Homo-oligomer: A and B are copies of this chain.
Amino acid sequence: MKHFKQVEIYIAEKETAKLTAFLEAIKYDEILTILERLDDERKAIVFECLDEYIAIKCFKVLPEKTRQTLIREMHHERAAKLLNSLPDDDLTSLVEGLPSRVVNELLKLLSDENRRTLLSLLGYPENSVGRLMTPHYVAVKENWSIQDAFTYIRYHGQNSETVNIIYVLDDNGVLIDDIRMQEFLFVEPTTKVNQIMDHRFLALSVNDDQVEAIKLFRKNNRFALPVIDANGIMLGIVTIDDVLRLAEAEDTEDIQKIGGSEALDEPYNTISFFSLIKKRAGWLIILFLGEMLTATAMGFFQDEISKAVVLALFIPLIISSGGNSGSQASSIIIRAMALGEVTFADWWRVMRREIFSGLILGAILGSVGFLRIFLWQQLHLFNYGIHWLLVSFTIFFALVGVVTWGTIAGSMLPIVLKKAGADPAASSAPFVATLVDVTGLIIYFSVAYVILKGTLL
Question: CB distance B164 to A331 under 8 Å?
Answer: no
Question: CB distance A323 to B430 under 8 Å?
Answer: yes
Closest-CB distance, A291 to chain B (whole angstroms): 5
Question: CB distance A154 to B186 under 8 Å?
Answer: yes
Selecting from A44-52, A116-124, A229-237, A282-290, the interface stretch reads A282-290
User: For the complex, what is the distance from the CA of A306 to the CA of B243, rounded to whole Å?
Assistant: 59
Question: CB distance A316 to B313 under 8 Å?
Answer: no
Contact of A218 among B61, B320, B332, B368 (CB under 8 A): B61
Selecting from A125-133, A265-273, A447-455, the interface stretch reads A265-273
Question: CB distance B252 to A335 under 8 Å?
Answer: yes
**Chain B residues whose CB sits within 8 angstroms of the CB of A220 once the complex forms:** 61
Question: CB distance B305 to A309 under 8 Å?
Answer: yes
Question: CB distance B356 to A273 under 8 Å?
Answer: yes
**Chain B residues whose CB sits within 8 angstroms of the CB of A268 once the complex forms:** 332-333, 335-336, 341-342
**Chain B residues whose CB sits within 8 angstroms of the CB of A181 once the complex forms:** 163, 181
User: For the complex, what is the distance from the CA of A319 to the CA of B437, rounded to whole Å?
Assistant: 11
- Asked if A71 is at the interface (CB within 8 A of a chain B CB), the reply is no
User: For the complex, what is the distance from the CA of A254 to the CA of B251, rounded to whole Å?
Assistant: 10
Mark each residue of chain A from 392 to 414: 1 if its CB lies under 8 Å from any CB of chain B, else 0. 00000000000100000000000
Selecting from A8-16, A256-264, A415-423, the interface stretch reads A256-264
Question: CB distance B160 to A182 under 8 Å?
Answer: yes
- Asked if A222 is at the interface (CB within 8 A of a chain B CB), the reply is yes
Question: CB distance B241 to A222 under 8 Å?
Answer: yes
**Chain B residues whose CB sits within 8 angstroms of the CB of A382 once the complex forms:** 299
Question: CB distance B245 to A218 under 8 Å?
Answer: yes
**Chain B residues whose CB sits within 8 angstroms of the CB of A248 once the complex forms:** 218, 247, 251, 339
Mark each residue of chain A from 146 to 184: 1 if its CB lies under 8 Å from any CB of chain B, else 0. 000010011001101011100000000000000001100
- Asked if A315 is at the interface (CB within 8 A of a chain B CB), the reply is yes
Selecting from A17-25, A76-84, A95-103, A357-365, the interface stretch reads A357-365
- Asked if A36 is at the interface (CB within 8 A of a chain B CB), the reply is yes
- Asked if A390 is at the interface (CB within 8 A of a chain B CB), the reply is no
Closest-CB distance, A254 to chain B (whole angstroms): 7
**Chain B residues whose CB sits within 8 angstroms of the CB of A247 once the complex forms:** 244, 247-248, 251
Question: CB distance A317 to B342 under 8 Å?
Answer: no
- Asked if A369 is at the interface (CB within 8 A of a chain B CB), the reply is yes
- Asked if A298 is at the interface (CB within 8 A of a chain B CB), the reply is yes
User: For the complex, what is the distance from the CA of A1 to the CA of B321, rounded to whole Å?
Assistant: 36
Contact of A331 among B219, B259, B329 (CB under 8 A): B259
Contact of A298 among B259, B312, B437 (CB under 8 A): B312
Question: CB distance A221 to B240 under 8 Å?
Answer: no
**Chain B residues whose CB sits within 8 angstroms of the CB of A372 once the complex forms:** 292, 295
Given contacts A277-B361, A429-B430, contact A288 B368 (CB under 8 A): yes
- Asked if A92 is at the interface (CB within 8 A of a chain B CB), the reply is no
Contact of A328 among B160, B222, B260, B403 (CB under 8 A): B260
**Chain B residues whose CB sits within 8 angstroms of the CB of A260 once the complex forms:** 324, 327-328, 331, 429
Question: CB distance A313 to B302 under 8 Å?
Answer: yes
Closest-CB distance, A333 to chain B (whole angstroms): 7
Question: CB distance B316 to A437 under 8 Å?
Answer: yes
User: For the complex, what is the distance from the CA of A313 to the CA of B298, rounded to whole Å?
Assistant: 5
**Chain B residues whose CB sits within 8 angstroms of the CB of A273 once the complex forms:** 353, 356-357
- Asked if A205 is at the interface (CB within 8 A of a chain B CB), the reply is no
- Asked if A114 is at the interface (CB within 8 A of a chain B CB), the reply is no
User: For the complex, what is the distance from the CA of A185 to the CA of B184, rounded to whole Å?
Assistant: 13
- Asked if A223 is at the interface (CB within 8 A of a chain B CB), the reply is yes
Question: CB distance B164 to A162 under 8 Å?
Answer: yes
A153-B185, A247-B248, A294-B317 are known; give 19 further A-B pairs, CB within 8 A.
A157-B185, A163-B164, A243-B244, A252-B335, A255-B331, A256-B335, A260-B327, A261-B328, A261-B332, A280-B325, A289-B368, A295-B313, A305-B305, A315-B316, A316-B319, A316-B441, A320-B433, A324-B434, A429-B430
Can you identify 26 A-B contacts, CB atoms within 8 angstroms? A87-B221, A157-B182, A163-B164, A163-B181, A244-B244, A252-B335, A259-B328, A259-B330, A261-B332, A267-B339, A269-B346, A273-B357, A276-B357, A277-B357, A280-B325, A281-B360, A285-B365, A288-B317, A288-B368, A291-B317, A294-B316, A309-B309, A320-B323, A320-B433, A320-B434, A327-B429
